[in-house]
Structure 1
């Protein structure tokens, strides 16, 4: 039986605290709100006067959060954001007015949680979520924007009742925790909705049975395709948002996914804070998220995206077909072994010229050979395997340069994969 780890000293740094969090709980994920709510009450966590937006979904959460943040900031509101996971540094998880907080502030938040949790066991994510909320309440903010980690109903973020709950999409992922069926996954995500509070669904094919259940709970969400919609204009540089009572024309086409921009605008409508069309335009233009449709210019071009399931991979493929057509694509892919590897690679295959599969380290990381075998069952494209992402990336770039034409190196499959690409590349 393992011993309970000792909490870091008062002078310990962020790395020591993160190691402590990793060792504190016997499992990485344990769904349930009882423990988190108990510690939140001891911390006296309350948003106060701040409005709260909670964003759940299989894919699209990060970009929706970023749209909400940049538009609200352009409108003059103060914002606090909590996201997970981080791409490179833990400090990415909390932003106040778009700025990351420093390591010492995170340490102080961890100390605050540790001082009140007593013998209540918390997972890494739960501990970090409580610390993030503690940090947000240290500032007098107008809006908290909270990204759900997994599911919704039993996720630690759901210990706060949101003024506006948002579901971006519903796909198959985290099967071990959420089950293999869209209906069950949608039900878990819909657990963030509360009677009497606003709800927004950006998933166009939301299960009817779950909508009926929400109706029985007196929850009537605004739905894409029913209560709001969007359309790309023929000039390919602008789009229109179409609501039930208003139309916003000539909005700038954003870098991040357009469906999530429309969902964010409906969420802002429901938040009922005044936001001008000029602020919306400015916020859309400034919305950027590392590792989400992140295109780097050069020869070859490099596209980074954390797509790691079939739903996200399908969107990524459609994006490449629409914006970078007829370009040879050299795909650097590393994945976790508990993901739908076959489905994800099949969704990417239509645009891939050559695969460069990479091992991912750690107990959850899949071997490159596993990916190569999964693809070989369906496709005849050339493939190579590498011991790490850096080697695969170097090989893909070299192969792309040899083409003597404009080419694309795509890096995707996991947050871990994209995080291995230097920020300066």
Structure 2
């Protein structure tokens, strides 16, 4: 890799490395960086759906407790700094650049070529170390066992719901995927796992926890301590995250302010409601796979029927490639059927790891509405809708890829620090007494 002087140029060049699961490069760079995180409690979260929301809730709870924290999540919707939130706010560009510069120097000196994801993860570790934060929350990128985040010396691991995804990388059956994700368990440390209906789920997690030691990165060979949590059927995605966060806080002996955290949390692109100056009303939901979409449908339908009384809904749909594309489109069709009077806009997300599905391909599905438009770019779809009077659009509902939501927020100019903060400055933050 060429020796680019500017850290941003170098970071951009790391994308050429592509995606590379494995711990060798990250573990070596961590050793060379020689970070001190002895005062930091590290929480590591994996799963197929809900892991980002769980991480965001925990970070917001810590912020309300006045506990310093860094949240690492991916992908970013609008700009790379939002992958690292300090106290809920995207990290300052200069702080991020300094961290990347340190990784760049160590990488070039050691002839190690990290991926883009690995660099952003290492930057989060550097920033957490330099700011001596009390808590560091890490969202797994993909899988668990070989994800770069597994190199962090986590004190607590959490597993959200797991579904069949990324089978080309993680394995072709659900049991193999459970094994990969459960491997975020750390020797001698607790792991909280959401109970699933999959046969042998608990047995698989326990077996992985019993043998979770990885010689490259772990100290000690004790089994992880399993805590299984039952989630009632029909529980919403946000409530499920709340239940898991409650258990995590109990294990960490931290006060729960989750009711307030949930009320105040601004988690961009996740059931996010927008009221535009033009009078248009929007809901952004990044249900990015069939399982996540099925889980959010009742909540979406209830939200639109109870809080949005407009006669019409304009539904923007764009998605990245899916293991089961038909199931994804079936979910969108279900929403169309349940809401009724739908104008469907098919488009393509831009900026993701994989090219978005072409609108002309989505158009071939037998949609239960005749009012359908398709656009190659999200901006064209938005321009078409927003030039209409608000009452002609009704509720604008955008569903699909996280990158779709990022495209929308960027187009609307809602990509500043405050827009992307977990607790925006205009929120009425409740005063909480410390130490009780």
Matched-pair contact (CA < 8 Å) for 1:113–1:130:
yes
| 1:411 maps to 2:411 | no
Matched-pair contact (CA < 8 Å) for 2:77–2:407:
no
Matched-pair contact (CA < 8 Å) for 1:81–1:146:
yes
TM superposition outliers: structure 1 runs of 4+ over 4 Å: 228-232, 378-381, 396-404
Aligned residues: 384
What is the TM-score with the length of structure 1 in the denominator? 0.82
Q: Deviations over 1:182-209 (max 9, x none)?
A: 2111111101012321111235435244
| 1:8 maps to 2:1 | no
Matched-pair contact (CA < 8 Å) for 2:242–2:258:
no
Identify if the C-alpha distance between structure 1 residues 150 and 108 changes in structure 2 by more than 3 Å, giving closer, same or farther.
Answer: same
Higher relative contact order (CA 8 A, sep 6+): 2
Deviation at 1:231, TM superposition (A): 9.7
Instruction: Choose the corresponding residue for 2:177, options 185, 190, 204.
Output: 185
In structure 2, what is the equivalent of residue 267 of structure 1? 248
In structure 2, what is the equivalent of residue 386 of structure 1? 375
In structure 1, what is the equivalent of residue 422 of structure 2? none
Deviation at 1:152, TM superposition (A): 0.7
For structure 2, the residue ranges without an aligned partner over 5 or more in a row are 212-222, 337-341, 415-436
What is the aligned-residue RMSD (CA, Å)?
2.7
Deviation at 1:355, TM superposition (A): 2.0
Deviation at 1:105, TM superposition (A): 1.6
Deviation at 1:408, TM superposition (A): 2.2
Q: How does 1:92-241 map to 2 (within 5 A)?
A: 92-117=82-107, 118-202=110-194, 204-205=196-197, 207-214=201-208, 216-217=210-211, 218-225=223-230
In structure 2, what is the equivalent of residue 296 of structure 1? 274
Instruction: Choose the corresponding residue for 1:315, options 295, 300, 305.
Output: 295
User: 1: distance between equivalents of 2:191 and 2:174?
Assistant: 19
Matched-pair contact (CA < 8 Å) for 1:200–1:267:
yes
Q: Deviations over 1:157-187 (max 9, x none)?
A: 0101311101122122222211332211111
Q: Secondary structure at the match of 1:144?
A: strand
Q: Secondary structure at the match of 2:62?
A: helix
For structure 1, the residue ranges without an aligned partner over 5 or more in a row are 233-253
Identify if the C-alpha distance between structure 1 residues 224 and 204 changes in structure 2 by more than 3 Å, giving closer, same or farther.
Answer: farther
In structure 1, what is the equivalent of residue 359 of structure 2? 368
